[in-house]
Amino acid sequence: MEKLENIQLDKQSDEYLYIQLYKKIKQLLLEGNIEPHSKLPTIRHLAKQLDVNNVTIVNTYNLLEQKGYVYKKVGSGTFVQDILNKNRSLAFRDDDGSSTKEENNIINFVSTAPTEDLFPIEDIKIAINQVLDRDKGMAFTYQESQGYYPLRNSIKNYLSEYGISTSEDNIQIISGAQQGIDILSKALIDYGDIVFTENPTYSGAIAVFKSRSARVIEINLEEDGLDIRDLENKLRSFRPKFIYVMPIFQNPTGYSYSVNKKYQLLELASKYDFYIIEDDFLSDLSFNNDDNQTLKSLDKDDRVIYLKSFSKIAMPGLRLAFMVIPRAIYNEVLSAKHISDISTSGLIQRSFDVYLSSGKWKKNLEYISVEYMNRFTVMVESVKEYMPKDIKYILPKGGLNFWFSLPDGYSSNELYKKCLQNNLSIAPGSAFNVNQTDNEHFRLSVASLDCDEIRLGINKLSKIIEEFLEEYKRIRPSVEMYNTFI
């Protein structure tokens, strides 16, 4: 495929080659320069043409698949999705901060990536230089697959402040939380195995579980956590390998589990013999919530696999996260990590160890928390002031995500399209369920917007919604009449 083979990569850039390649291929796809359902070059062929190693192409294709731009056929290769003719855009699936819409003036309530002004550039620069001066060429060698030992020790100490007691041997360093979900899926899921998730939940996790040919069963989510009755009813019929949850400021809803439901979930995990993957997405950003205990801190039976990213809040390009894994699955996880990418960047691990152990991470987190609290506060005030009364919502006590509902029977996919036409982007609820079915829900994130943009955006969105509700009301009688005959 000539267009791919002519791509130029900057090997002197600080940006990973696979990220560069992902962005260039993505652009070709969005511009319609590659025919839908056409087969991409083999990993070996494209690696040879671009003069990169095979792992770069593997990582690129995996990321494209996770984002929904390509699909894989076992034994046949990787193929291009027909993204331009889908009934909805993929913009809301991009949590890397990019958007499929090119207008610079779009108000982006979709992205969960932080703004660049929050990046601790100088501190990271100092840490990298310190590592280079101290370790010389050793900084560029492969680390053991489990991760750089001093960093695992620093993480152990860091976790103790959050009530999580573990050892370095139970900590696995990974290249971002998304890789963690993928590694756990490789380690634990066989063809046809059952996985439970919250409903709604993070679209990237759904994509990974489906890619492993798992059967994904959704458990209803309530304001204070999982619907325990729904969970236990399904446990009587199904035996999941694990359940994937975000108990604190859940994505997309912003809901947090009550202490009672945390304990109930742990009890059921022991009773029915399954693991819990706890994705600690945003527990650091607790503004009005005194109870942000993790499940892992309450776990007495080693049932919880704790997953946390350092890059999500402050430095998305760092691609650094970790897992605390039960000893019973240690070998399987380590093997899956090695197969994925051998090891996470040694330079990044060593530099972040300096940054974390020096206390600068905590200092920067305090600064970020203040900035995000300001955005959170403005969002709450704006929602209360501008949001039409027909829109239902429950305000979270922290985090970055807000969950809204149109009146019953209204389409958030259609609202999403109308918003895009007006240079405003929201994430429709269809992005967060297994079958991607349209519904009345939508998510707004304040991660990538400043306070002025948030207030302006909510004011603008409210006017769009009012107009949308009036337009939709006019067509609903015909829709309802049609539905009575089918």
Distance in angstroms (rounded) separating the CA atoms of residues 356 and 441: 38
- Residue 14 clears pLDDT 90, i.e. is over it: no
Higher pLDDT: 314 or 405? It is 405
Give per-residue pLDDT as tens, 275-316: 999 999 888 888 876 678 999 999 999 999 999 998 767 677
Q: Residue 289's pLDDT is what?
A: 66
Q: Residue 106's pLDDT is what?
A: 87
Q: Tokens for 40?
A: 């991409």
Average pLDDT of the chain is 88
Number of Cβ within 10 Å of residue 76's Cβ equals 8
Instruction: Show Cβ contacts of residue 54 under 8 Å, excluding neighbours closer than 6 positions.
Output: 43, 44, 47
Q: Residue 66's pLDDT is what?
A: 73
- DSSP output for 348-395: HHHHHHHHHHTTHHHHHHHHHHHHHHHHHHHHHHHHHHHS-TT-EE--
Q: What is the three-state SS of 468-486?
A: HHHHHHHHHHHHHHHHCCC
- Residue 321 clears pLDDT 90, i.e. is over it: yes
Please state the rounded mean pLDDT for residues 342-355: 93
Helix (H, G, I), strand (E, B) or coil at 346: helix
- Residue 116 clears pLDDT 50, i.e. is over it: yes
Q: Residue 77's pLDDT is what?
A: 86
Q: Residue 446's pLDDT is what?
A: 95
Helix (H, G, I), strand (E, B) or coil at 244: strand
Full set of structural domains in the chain with CATH: 1-86 (1.10.10.10), 99-112+363-475 (3.90.1150.10), 121-358 (3.40.640.10)
- Residue 99 clears pLDDT 70, i.e. is over it: no
Q: What pTM, to 2 d.p., does this model score?
A: 0.78
Q: Tokens for 359?
A: 């206390």
Q: Residue 2's pLDDT is what?
A: 64
Instruction: Show Cβ contacts of residue 240 under 8 Å, excluding neighbours closer than 6 positions.
Output: 193, 194, 195, 196, 217, 274
Higher pLDDT: 407 or 90? It is 407
- Residue 242 clears pLDDT 70, i.e. is over it: yes
- Residue 93 clears pLDDT 60, i.e. is over it: no
Give per-residue pLDDT as tens, 54-82: 888 888 888 888 777 888 876 778 989 87
Q: Residue 171's pLDDT is what?
A: 97
Q: Are 466 and 419 in contact (CB under 8 A)?
A: no
Give per-residue pLDDT as tens, 171-214: 999 999 999 999 999 999 999 999 999 999 999 999 999 999 99
Q: Tokens for 73?
A: 């056929």
Instruction: Show Cβ contacts of residue 181 under 8 Å, excluding neighbours closer than 6 positions.
Output: 204, 205, 208, 244, 277, 279, 307
Give per-residue pLDDT as tens, 375-401: 999 999 999 999 999 999 999 999 999
Q: pLDDT band for 102, please (50, 70, 90 cuts).
A: very low
- Residue 31 clears pLDDT 80, i.e. is over it: no
Distance in angstroms (rounded) separating the CA atoms of residues 407 and 411: 9
Q: pLDDT band for 475, please (50, 70, 90 cuts).
A: low
Buried b (16+ CB within 10 A) or exposed e, 462-473: bebbeebbeebe
